[in-house]
Amino acid sequence: MQIDLSLLIPEIALAALGMMVLIFGLIIPKGSRQGLGWFTTISLLAVIGLVVAGWNNQGSLYEGMFVVDRYAMFFKITFLVAAFLVALGSMRYVDKYLGDQSEYYSMMLFATLGMCVMASAGDFITLYLGLELMTIAFFVLVCFRRMETKSVEAGMKYVLLAGMSSAVLLYGLSLIYGVTGSILIPEVGRMVALNPSPALMLGLVMLVAGLGFKISAVPFHMWSPDIYEGAPTPVTAFLAVGSKAASFAVLLRIFVEALPGIWANWTMLVAILAAVTIIVGNLVAIPQTNIKRMLAYSSIAQAGYILVGLVTASEAGIKGVMFYGFLYVFATVGAFTVAGYFYNKTGSDEIKDYAGLAQRSPLMAAVMLTVLLSMAGIPPLAGFAGKFYLFKTIVDDYLWLAFIGMVMSMVSVYYYLRVVLVMYRDDPPEGSAPIQVSGPVTLTLLVALLATLYIGVYPGPLSEIVNSAAHSFFVH
């Protein structure tokens, strides 16, 4: 069997980089490991270049078990951009609070590798291997501050709940395999149309439950607030962006490609799941006083908005999911980078302590203002264009869902502006010094700010790329 290794270049590069960073940690003296952050970010930038250069290099490996199309390539770019921004923005945080640079950056690379494998999974086994690689890496990252009670508690909760969700997902996949007799996703699609049995319905429900945990959809969201609060802030950012995007890549590939024959049985389920997730995420975010818990519930609501694109499971719906997922990277990483650097300087995650941030650090306040309003869907920021593409796909058949989404977007403005008011209206505490932003963090914040503004004002270039990626999903 001829194997085209050029299709595996991003995965091979990430695996090699992860091992190199881990080995460097063993041979480089402890006081000289600060350069590993720059090595990781530059290497991730190079891998992004390799993926972009191979945009037209499409195909499949191992008899369809590993699929490389523009759909998978776009999601890989999304994961790599998220990893690059998180690694760049977390250098000072890692140096001050985590210390073990090689383990931190290598686990981040292995988590990204798992996400890339998930995006290209053409069968259930490859899908599960990628999922577990990503999840195990996050186990280590979540409890990285092992001397801090909250971090260890978050790690234990994540291990238990993620293990349970993986078991449910695996059992659902086994039921689907038992009914169809195949693990290849396209073949499952052909068999499903011929035999929509009760066992298949049960497998589908368990599949939704397992992946619903990964995307923090209600009622599978119970882990998010505690883990987001207890994990190191850069890890929280990567967990909120990367894990979600990878799970949506899998959801789309399974539901659209493998389960089209039972459309009527699951589309209303996904619509209700999206509506409940949007409502609960936004309403519970209102009383939060901790910035990370507020962003956790906001992240739950954002998962609900992205689920809207899965309701129709059309080419336009897939485009909406991919478009919103990409811009969500910059908004989320921008918000958590500000939160992480603020904690680095003040030791606080409480919203009330952000008083006068506009005077102490105009750049941090401006970025937080921009990304929060973008997540609320305020024009002309990127979030408005993303929500427009998502809701446009459901207006004809699910007007009630679009109405819920718009009302809840207005609700989200309230708790986002509460943070903005504290930053711009209140005076800083007496004796508080200006916050000097380091070079890597400044670069991360500027990228998040400019990308959010540019995609909002000129969504056309990204829209064309996403159109091409979404179209390839249906023609390969």
Strand blocks (E) in 265-415: none
pTM, two decimals, is 0.92
DSSP assignment of 131-158: HHHHHHHHHHHHT--TTSHHHHHHHHHH
Asked whether 179 and 201 are in contact (CB, 8 A), the reply is no
Strands 66-68 and 59-61, bridge-based pairing? antiparallel
List phi, psi (to 5°) of 2: -75, 130
CA within 13 Å, CB half, 134: 30
Mean residue pLDDT across the chain: 84
Res 424 pLDDT > 80: yes
Q: Which of 62-66, 126-130, 397-401 has the lowest mean pLDDT?
A: 62-66
pLDDT in tens, 105-150: 889 999 999 999 998 888 888 888 998 899 898 888 888 877 778 8
The whole-angstrom separation of Cα 417 and Cα 423 is: 10
The pair of structure tokens assigned to 91 is 């250098």
Residue that has been written with the tokens 């078991």 in this structure: 167
pLDDT recorded at residue 195: 67
Average pLDDT over residues 244-254: 86
Asked whether 65 and 125 are in contact (CB, 8 A), the reply is yes
- pLDDT band of residue 47 (cuts 50, 70, 90) is very high
CA-nearest of 432, 86, 389, 123 to 234 is 86
Average pLDDT over residues 231-257: 84
Asked whether 312 and 253 are in contact (CB, 8 A), the reply is no
- pLDDT band of residue 398 (cuts 50, 70, 90) is confident
| DSSP label of 2 | -
Asked whether 70 and 468 are in contact (CB, 8 A), the reply is yes
pLDDT in tens, 158-195: 888 888 888 888 888 888 888 877 788 877 777 766 66
Res 355 pLDDT > 90: no
The separation between the first and the last C-alpha atoms of the chain, rounded to the nearest angstrom, is: 20
Higher pLDDT, 117 or 100: 117
Res 427 pLDDT > 90: no
Element housing 437 (H / E) = none
Res 1 pLDDT > 60: no
Q: Which of 2-6, 80-84, 367-371, 406-410 has the lowest mean pLDDT?
A: 2-6
The whole-angstrom separation of Cα 329 and Cα 147 is: 30
Per-domain residue ranges of the chain: 5-475
pLDDT recorded at residue 263: 58
Asked whether 204 and 259 are in contact (CB, 8 A), the reply is yes
The whole-angstrom separation of Cα 339 and Cα 229 is: 11
CA within 13 Å, CB half, 128: 19
